[in-house]
Amino acid sequence: MTDRDLSGRVALVTGGSRGIGRAICRRLARAGAWVAINHSSSDEAAAETLALIRAVGGEGDVYRADVSSFEATDAMFRSIEADKGPVDLLVTNAGIASFQDDVDMPVDLWRRILSVNLDGTFHCVWCAKEGMLARGDGRIVCISSANGLAPSRIRPDRLIAYGTSKSAVIGFSRNCAIALGPAIRVNCVAPGLIDTDMTSGMSDEIRQRIIASTPAGRTGTPDDIAGLTYFLLSDAASFITGQTYVASGGLVTLP
């Protein structure tokens, strides 16, 4: 992999305004990709991400859309194509979680989490796939979660809806790898506990218990996930598709 090996590529990162998404945007921009930063409600944060991209010599733009809506997602893809060209690198990172996600959660919360985390992933892949298939080249990384592989026994909130949605994202990406290959490669990244806004509300007690159970002895950083995502989008991963990579510091392992 070279420093600018994604030059000429148009990348879309959903949920790109902060946290893991922001780090992925910066990493892809550093590799030469033109980056579309998607967000649903954080104009200021998205502008900060764009500034960080430009600070590393990259270029891109900001696109506001709620990926739980197919119509909004389709309109976003059309806008990106009109502005810069068709998307050929896609990272479906947009996701939500809730500390109310337990045995007493309301039905509306279940539906909202599934609509963003799972439907949003489907909408983006479905909007991207036709052009990728026609061009004979597309690369997709779906961001799932270690909770989608192994439900937490440490957290008091059981993350029923979140874990279910992320399990489904893994299954979806595997099936898409078969259905859309060989033109499109589809892989999945399943992060463990990463220091982001989403996890900032966790109590220090629970955080320390998770760290104590993690062989790496620490929480992850957004850059840890960005580096892995970049690898899967690069030519170095040209023979890799349909796989799920767990980045949890060893807390969750695959057989």
Residue pLDDT, tens place only, 65-95? 999 999 999 999 999 999 999 999 999 999 9
- Where are the chain's structural domains? 10-247
Q: Which are the catalytic amino acids?
A: 162
10-247 maps to which CATH number?
A: 3.40.50.720
Percentage of the chain beyond pLDDT 70 is 98
d(CA 42, CA 124): 19
**pLDDT tens track for 141-182:** 999 999 999 987 776 567 899 999 999 999 999 999 999 999
Classify residue 165 as exposed, middle or buried by CB count within 10 Å of its CB (0-12, 13-18, 19+): buried
**pLDDT tens track for 173-185:** 999 999 999 999 9
d(CA 116, CA 9): 26
Residue owning tokens 């039905």:
107
d(CA 8, CA 186): 20
